[in-house]
Amino acid sequence: MIRYGGRTTMVMRWVQRAAMLLVLAGLGYAAAGLIGGAVPANAAWRAPAKGVRIYVESNGIHVGLVVPKVAAGIDWRGIAPGADLADPRYAGYDHLAIGWGERAFYLETATWADLKLRTILAAARGSDATLMHVEHVPAPRTGPDVRSVVLRPEEYRRLVAYIRASFAPAHRRDRGYGANDVFYAGRGHYSAGRTCNAWAGDALRFAGVRIGRWTPFPMTVLAWF
């Protein structure tokens, strides 16, 4: 019994140490993300008085970029047609909300209530199974979770080039959460270092917009606008 108790004590110590390491790793990741999100790239950028208006929106987990279907010579209607929706009538809306993310995380985590530890850990390990989430929407109203950004036409075209490059060449799709959205096959590697929110920051940075150098959390994107 003494030997068994000693082994049990040793196991408990290892469990406690492992738990402490996980907590420290989580705190370190959070701190690194906040610091990375606070260090600006394209620091001299300022929004023009006129241009193409886009929106940056968050549902608390995923950050998406809302773009007009037709603007600055760009037409999205052939890439995300209404025929791909459960209800094609929603194609009458004039904007698309677009996000990128890990397949299982997207399909299984529509809201915070759906969030599971196993999904987080699986996504954090890394995955090449990625999706583009596309919603047909009207122009949103700005608020705490929706920010408006005006881009120069050339900046908008760079943004679009980045977004389009995230779609897989094969036009595979999955049913969305509702009648006005759809998932398309994406490309790129998802990991703890490159989350859906980091993707949104990367896209804006590529366009030339002032944004943090690494934006893994929704707040690290929205805080700039």
- Residue 91 counted as domain residue: yes
Q: What is the pTM of this model?
A: 0.84
The b/e string for 119-145 (b: 16+ C-beta within 10 A; e otherwise) is beeebbeebeebbbbbbbbeebeeeee
Please report the pLDDT score of residue 43 as a whole number. 96
- Please write the tens of the pLDDT for every residue from 150-185: 999 999 999 999 999 999 998 888 999 999 999 999
Residue 84 lies in a domain: yes
Number of domains in the chain: 1
Pick from 115, 62, 105, 86: nearest CA to 173: 86
Work out the average pLDDT over 19-28.
Answer: 63
Report if residue 11 sits inside a domain. Answer: no
Q: Phi and psi for 10 in degrees, rounded to 5?
A: -65, -45
Residue count of the chain? 225
3-class SS at 48? coil
Does residue 28 belong to any structural domain of this protein? no
Residue 81, domain member (yes or no): yes
> 58 lies in which domain range?
39-222
Identify any residues that bridge with 95 across adjacent strands, giving them in sequence order. Answer: 68, 137
Residue range 29-65, pLDDT digits in tens: 667 777 888 899 999 999 999 999 999 999 888 899 9
